[in-house]
Amino acid sequence: MLGKLFDVAVIGTELAGLVAGALLVKRGFQVAVIDVENERQQVKRQGYTLKPFPGLFFGFGQNQVFNDIFVELGIPFLEKKRFQLAQPAYQIALPEARIDILQGREEWTHLLNLTFGADAGALTNLLNEADRYSSQVRSLLTKEVVYPAYSFMERYRLNRTSGNMGADFKERSRTSFDEFMDSFGLSAEARAFIEAQFYFLAPTYPDDPSLFFASLVLSALNKGIYSVEGGLRILEDICKERISSYRGQLQRAGEIEEIDFARVNEIKLAGIKEPVRCKKILVCNNIEEFFSRHSPKTLRGSYKERFEEPPHRRHLFTLYVGVKDEVIPVGMNENVILLTDTQKPATEPDNLAFASLSPLDSPDYAPPGKRLIAISTLVLPESGELNAIETRSLSDRMVAQLRELIPFLDEFTDFVAFEESFALYQASRRTPATPPISLEDKYGIACLPNRTPHKDVYYAGKATLPGMGMEGEGISAVMVTNLLAKALAK
């Protein structure tokens, strides 16, 4: 790296940043990726690594964003074979039954008829409408449209695209998800069934999301939820390999000591004598912390307000449990929604939890023959933040739910990580990954533009399209790649 001037320095190794880095290198730009070790949120215990799970994998199917990314990067067919459509996508454990959520439309209709009877028709219509609105919003997120739009040409393209969608599109852009749900007259059980999946697929959400945001999430029930052989690390490694093969550079550092913003930006790394010199900076981890440390004057006005959490926003708390693999019941999916009482709203306290298993034979999470369970719930703290006493009481209730799901759990448990889970919760609260979606946002789909108030700093990551999983990160990566390519070509 000595003496070299890069077009773009990517700070962090989140998925969106790695994808954007690989795309930029493939297009002929000089890219350096900086892996900052002190920003990782993880804890080691008894050979396990406690860290956030990748969650579900969206968007590897036909006409999905990652399919286009793979084509542009020249990912061979054998690598694509590692991404398999998950069947079932996930499970819902109700008090009286465990339901496999299948991805085909015919299977879905059959499942709804068997399970809900009189509500089946309304549920099918609801999901069909969600798919229809989702396809309309997706057409906004193309290479021609940048959202939010700033320049004259960007506003022109956005208005032209949305105008062509007609009055129905504009009317629905002002409809809340609750209003949309009310229009179908569902029973309490059927409504809880749908709402539980929305909360599970998009744990980062506003209390009153727009219909379009909700439809983007719910349409994934029938579109491209994938399991990845080896977990998320496989996809990250593919992107890193592409960056290296196209002569990009990967640099690991303990921390970033200082950034000197000038005509040529210099990033000074701990323990490395020569700084990384670059024209543009792409941040893919915590953007607020980046500006707070390196350019505090930039965080002002409406941009800073994007990070201010509204009152009464639920917090996601995750408890980690290490178990022996043989205790996992046959047929249990790696992702299970636990709904305790279908007659109550999904957000009632103690009524909803999400249990996820670490991928089989994944040393990134658990030693051989072991699995890590992450059981999560959404909770509204009484006073700003959860404290240690509250999280212990909450954890005890979550373990009780887990015992209902997995027989003989206690005999095969290595540990329940009460203290470590609380520490990871505190760390996540110090560095929020996703600011709230602004309800004033016309379409309710983007809470942070790829561009930032600093002309040389861009962002790609989970905060652009929260709740859309990997597909949102893929869209964010494609958008910022096009913005950077355009800026560097001037």
Judge whether residue 9 has pLDDT over 90.
Answer: yes
What order do you get walking across the sheet with 90-93 strand by strand?
Answer: 98-101, 90-93, 335-339, 352-357, 370-379, 315-324, 413-417
Report pLDDT for 34.
94
Count of domains observed in the chain: 3
- Does 250 fall in a domain? yes
238 contact partners, CB below 8 Å, separation of at least 6? 75, 79
Among the ranges given (64-73, 120-129, 264-273, 453-462), the one the predictor scored with the smallest mean pLDDT: 64-73
Q: What gap in Å lies between CA 444 and CA 459, rounded to an integer?
A: 19
What letter would DSSP give residue 81? T
Please report how many Cα atoms fall inside a 13 Å half-sphere around the Cα of residue 274, on the Cβ side.
9
What letter would DSSP give residue 77? H
Report pLDDT for 216.
74
Considering the domain architecture, whether residues 36 and 62 belong to the same structural domain is answered as yes
* Residue 462 pLDDT class (50, 70, 90 cuts): confident
Range of the domain at 117: 112-219
Judge whether residue 2 has pLDDT over 60.
Answer: no
Considering the domain architecture, whether residues 424 and 443 belong to the same structural domain is answered as no
Q: The domain that contains 276 carries what CATH number?
A: 3.50.50.60
Point out the domain boundary residue: 219, 241, 276: 219
Q: What gap in Å lies between CA 315 and CA 338, rounded to an integer?
A: 17
Considering the domain architecture, whether residues 439 and 301 belong to the same structural domain is answered as yes
Q: What gap in Å lies between CA 10 and CA 101, rounded to an integer?
A: 37
Considering the domain architecture, whether residues 34 and 126 belong to the same structural domain is answered as no
Rg over CA atoms, the chain: 22
Report pLDDT for 131.
82
Averaged pLDDT score across all residues of the chain? 81
Q: What gap in Å lies between CA 354 and CA 231, rounded to an integer?
A: 18
Point out the domain boundary residue: 171, 193, 219: 219
Judge whether residue 310 has pLDDT over 80.
Answer: no
Considering the domain architecture, whether residues 190 and 250 belong to the same structural domain is answered as no
Considering the domain architecture, whether residues 128 and 215 belong to the same structural domain is answered as yes
- 438 vs 376, which has greater pLDDT? 376
Report pLDDT for 346.
84
Point out the domain boundary residue: 389, 415, 430: 430
* % of residues, the chain, pLDDT over 90: 31
Report pLDDT for 448.
57
Q: 224, 85 in Cβ contact below 8 A? A: yes
Considering the domain architecture, whether residues 396 and 330 belong to the same structural domain is answered as yes
- Does 100 fall in a domain? no
Considering the domain architecture, whether residues 351 and 383 belong to the same structural domain is answered as yes
Report pLDDT for 415.
97
466: enclosing H helix or E strand: none
Judge whether residue 370 has pLDDT over 70.
Answer: yes
Considering the domain architecture, whether residues 258 and 341 belong to the same structural domain is answered as no
Considering the domain architecture, whether residues 409 and 458 belong to the same structural domain is answered as no
- Does 90 fall in a domain? no
Considering the domain architecture, whether residues 353 and 289 belong to the same structural domain is answered as no
Highest mean pLDDT among 70-84, 153-167, 218-232: 70-84
Average pLDDT over residues 363-372: 91
- Does 97 fall in a domain? no
Considering the domain architecture, whether residues 425 and 464 belong to the same structural domain is answered as no
Question: Would you call 365 helix, strand, or coil by DSSP?
Answer: coil
* Residue 139 pLDDT class (50, 70, 90 cuts): low
